[in-house]
Each structure stands twice: as C-alpha cells, then as structure tokens.
Amino acid sequence: MVKTYLSYNNIYSSLGFNSEAVVENISKGVSGLDTYEDASLLPEPFCASLISSKKIENEFNMIGDASKFTKLEQMMILSLKKVVDASNIPLNEKVGLLISTTKGNIDVLEKESDFPESRAYLSELGKTIQTFFGFKNEAILLSNACVSGVLAISAAKRFISEKKYDYVFIASGDLVTKFILSGFNSFQALSAAPCKPYDKNRMGINLGEVAASVLVTIDEKNLPEEAVEILGDATCNDANHISGPSRTGEGLFRSVKAALQEANITSENVDYISAHGTATPFNDEMESIAFSRLGMEKVPLNSLKGFFGHTLGASGLLETIVGMHSMKKNVLFISKGFDELGVSKNINIVKTNTPKKLNIFLKTASGFGGCNTAVILKKANN
Amino acid sequence: MVSLNGNVLFSDKSEDFPTFIKNAYKFFKTDYSKFFKMDNLSKLAFFAADVLLKNENLNEEENNIALVFSNNASSLDTDRKHQAAIENETEYFPSPAVFVYTLPNICLGEISIKHRLYSENSFFIFDRFNAEHLQLYANSLLRSVKAEKVLCGWVNFDKNNYEAFLYLVEKEGVFEHTKEEITRLYNTL
C-alpha cells in the first residue's frame, strides 16, 4: 500500500490568511468570532466568524479581476494558490483537484446577486477553480454535509491508492449566508453568544466562513515540517436519523474503530483528538458517548469551533490543518469556550494550551444525514 | 419508467414527478411512512435504491453496503424552495423540514436508515455522469475491505427533470466492473 501524506496547506479565515498566522492567533487564544447585527443576513443579532469581502477583493485583485469571481471563489482560489505555489509541482495529468463544500455559491440564488443562477451549480465552482489554475483534470466535488472536509482527505487517498493520481489538491470552502443562517436558526441551533463546545452552558452553534487547502501527495521527500501521513480513515452512517445524531454515537464509534483498524494501532496510540464539537446539546453528548465506548475518555480532546464557528464543508479540513500545526509545535490547543463539563461521559477536554509530545492524532466529524468520518494522522518527520 | 436489470417493471405517463413517484410507490407497495416527508431528490434516490435492494435478501439488523452517489444539481431543487421562503422580509418562513434536505447526502441517510446500512457514504457532484471516478472509488472501498458491496450511481433532480441510475458492485456479478461497461449500462437508460 502506497503511503499518502498531507503536505503544504493554507487556512484563509478571519484569524489570518495563512496557516502560520492563524495558528499563532489560536495559540494566543484569539477567536475569530464576533457579534453581528445585519438584517440582510438574519433578522436578529448573531455570532459568527466572517471575513471582510473588501480585504479578500484587495488581495484577489493582485492575481485576477475580483469582479468576475464570487466571494467564495476568491477565497478558495487565494487559499489554493498559496498551496499550489508552495508545492511547486507541474499541474499535469497525475494531479487531481478535489473540492469540498456543502453549499458552494448558494448566495447567487439571492435576487440581488450580481452573478447568474448557474453559478450555484457546484460543478461550475469546480470549473472556475480548475480553469483559473489550469488543472488538466476536471474538478471532483464532494458535498457530504459537515463531514465533507474530512471525507475529502479519504477520497483523495482513495483516488491515489487506485493510481489515478499521484497528487491531489483539496480546496474546501463555505460562506456564512442568509441561506445558511436562516436554516440553522429555524432549527433553533444558533447561539447568540460565542459557542461553548462540551460545556454545561452550551447554547448551540456559531457559523463561520473559511477556505482551507492542502496538498495530498505520495512524495515523501518534498514535505513541510507539519506534514502528516494518513494512517487510516473511515466513514460510517448512524442509520438512525437524518438531522439528529445517534444517541449511542454508533456511526462515530464505528468510523473511529475502522480507522484505527486500518491504521493498525489501538486507541492508546492516539495522542490527541481533534473532535467535531459543534456545541449543540445532542452532538457533543453523542461524541462523549462514542469516545467513552472507544475507551478514549482520557485522550486530550478539543473542538476548534470556539475559534472559527462551524465552517461546514470546510471545517474538517481546516481543523485537520490546525491539528498538523499543533503536532509540529507539540502543543495541545485550548478548547475555547469550555469551562465546565456538560456531557455525560468524563472526556478530557483541553482547558489550557499544554505542551505534549505529539505523534498521532485523530480527526473526527459528524453531520446531517447521519454521517460520521474519522481520519488518523501521524507526523511524517518524526 | 422504472426498470431493473434491463426489464421494465413500471411505466407511467405522468408529466410531473410527484404524481409519477406516488403511482410508482403504490405499484411497488413500498409502505414506508417517512417517504412522504422526503424531498424530491430523496424520494427519487430512496425509491431507486429500494427497488434494487428489495431483491438482495438483506439482513434485518445491518448490512455493509457502501453508498457512492453523484449528480449534477446537488440539492438545488430544495435549495430553491428554502431560498424562496427567506427571500422576502414580509414572507420570511424558513422551515427546518425543508432546510434539512438542502444537502445532497441526506438521501444517503434515508437509504441507510431503511436498509440498516452503517456503512461508507459519499456524495459527489460532477458536470455529467462520471463512470471513471465512481468505479475507482468503489474499487478502493472493496479492495480495502471497507465495504462488502457498493451501491453506486447517479441521482439527479433539477427543474422537474429527473433520473436515477444505480448499480450494485460486488466481488462476483453479471457485468465486469469497468468504466466502459458502466457507461454502456448508463447509456441504455
């Protein structure tokens, strides 16, 4: 079996426009969440992590004509460009492009949008990004709710293992739009204050927008210091409910177990869990049950939603990249917003930045449709 | 029209999808109360999977059949409905029952619940039917023993145009699992 690695990476978010700057802000405890009053997005005040369109445009105008690209396209192209440039590989037929998003350019459905409705088709988003860079292969789009970002890592690994590609660039992104805010608000899932994953007083989620990109490669030479090897991965459905997680954490339990099995390690070998932790009552409780069933109650765990909000189809990739940098620094980052345990199992939430020798971490995500994904990643340069 | 393994099992001249799918539901005696809560894409995908999996003697407890689905329009049919409900301030009525279907993979959840599939789920979006990537992905799942069987296909619903083409991949079968053969079967639709 050929080894696959997560290599060069970028995070384009309210906490900065490259991974290093973002991670520096996280290590200082700075959150990208803020409170907004904008009736064009939601009739009531909301808390979210937003990126200024002006700032994005200013940066984009240095590489193209921003007026021809939607906000999401600009973010995703700027993010991916940094990874493509750092990787310095020719974009030939052995290089794939995988795009992970839940809603893509959904804001073009709004009456006042400057762009045609056809831009809402995800394949159009794929074409725009493919054409900008001149990828030889058509973009593959993955849209699997909130596990999309982690599942994209699995998908890239699978296409590489089938020898279709030697390299896959993953670009992920989602926006905070009227569409998304109104929907989650109708579920009464939004918290008006910064979210508090796993906390006794958690009130629900915040939404966030971000673009995150990574190179998946078989080349074990040209790797940055934070690179990781993909040891195992799995996705399992709860087969229970389309909008509520399983009460027993069945799908998450099974996906972690299957990923550990493929990685050929036990739960004791996992140094850290980068969990989903949306801060809804049901999700966080479900995760605690699944990790307890897995015998992983003592493994340090955090949710990064307190820094970025829930960034939907990009969240899994964004959080994986932060995990890579956390391992490089050998520091566990605080699970921001957490004060007092509010789930039924005694899981080990990271309360303060903690130095720890890190070698292997587990990234998980769960989403609507009952899907759960787990990926196990090991330091490449140990 | 509904066909299984090349045999037409049901045909109906209804112009609109809701009438067609209701008639098909009755004809196949589907009997699943949650069906009527589903959006168009989920009804289409669920129904196609049900017709196919009915003949597979599935286990009542659980089955390891991965779902690898794809389409062109994602969940846009329902996305447009949610957008219409929030477009005007005076008629602002977003509904969670609609919003939950604004993700293409929800139909995979519906199929997993009905057939007890605690297995791999992936939903891809392509410009048009892409046999090659479905074939590669299914191969990878079978090779890595992540799934015993893989139900693959294309389920698209856009502006009352709809089609579903599903096929089951396993170690032994009738047709060879190649890009050419999948494309040929898709084109016979």
Question: Residue B174: pLDDT above 80?
Answer: yes
Size of interface A-B (CB pairs under 8 A): 169
Q: Is the dihedral of CA A253, A258, A259, A263 positive or negative?
A: positive
Q: Over the stretch A327-340, which tens digit does the pLDDT of each residue have? A: 999 999 999 999 99
Q: Is B14 within the bounds of a domain? A: yes
Q: Is B99 within the bounds of a domain? A: no
- The arithmetic mean of pLDDT across residues A298-316, rounded, is 98
Residues from chain A that touch B80, judged by Cβ atoms under 8 A, are: 109
* A40 interface with B at CB cutoff 8 Å: no
Poorest-pLDDT segment among A52-66, A91-105, B7-21? B7-21
Question: Residue B81, exposed/middle/buried by CB under 10 A (0-12, 13-18, 19+)?
Answer: middle
Domain count, chain B: 1
* A126 interface with B at CB cutoff 8 Å: yes
Q: Over the stretch A226-251, which tens digit does the pLDDT of each residue have? A: 999 999 999 999 999 999 999 999 99
Map tokens 């909130």 to a residue: A146
3-state secondary structure of A26: helix
Q: Is B87 within the bounds of a domain? A: no
Of B87, B92, B102, the CB nearest to A183: B102
Question: Residue B189: pLDDT above 90?
Answer: no
- The arithmetic mean of pLDDT across residues A213-230, rounded, is 97
B8 lies in which domain range?
Answer: 2-74+104-187
Question: Residue A1: pLDDT above 90?
Answer: no
Give me the pLDDT at residue A381, please: 83
* B109 interface with A at CB cutoff 8 Å: yes
* B80 interface with A at CB cutoff 8 Å: yes
Q: What is the ipTM of this complex?
A: 0.97
Give dist(CA B152, CA A345) in Å, integer.
38
Q: How confident is the model at residue B89 (pLDDT cuts 50, 70, 90)?
A: confident
Q: Is B81 within the bounds of a domain? A: no
Rounded to 5 degrees, what are φ and ψ at A284? -65, -40
Q: How confident is the model at residue A253 (pLDDT cuts 50, 70, 90)?
A: very high
Give me the pLDDT at residue A382, please: 63
* B32 interface with A at CB cutoff 8 Å: no
Q: How confident is the model at residue A104 (pLDDT cuts 50, 70, 90)?
A: very high
Q: Is B123 within the bounds of a domain? A: yes
**Mean pLDDT rounded to a whole number for chain A:** 97
> How far does A98 lie from chain B, in Å, by closest CA?
10
Q: Domains for chain A: give ranges and CATH numbers.
A: 5-217 (3.40.47.10), 228-379 (3.40.47.10)
Q: How confident is the model at residue A296 (pLDDT cuts 50, 70, 90)?
A: very high
Flag if B119 and A236 touch (Cβ within 8 Å): yes
Q: Is B93 within the bounds of a domain? A: no
Give dist(CA A234, CA A102) in Å, integer.
19
Q: Are A283 and A238 in contact (CB under 8 A)?
A: no
Question: Residue B115: pLDDT above 70?
Answer: yes
**Domain at B40, CATH number:** 3.40.47.10
Q: Is B179 within the bounds of a domain? A: yes
Q: Over the stretch B8-38, which tens digit does the pLDDT of each residue have? A: 999 999 989 999 999 999 999 999 999 999 9
Flag if B119 and A243 touch (Cβ within 8 Å): no
- pLDDT-above-70 percentage for chain B: 100
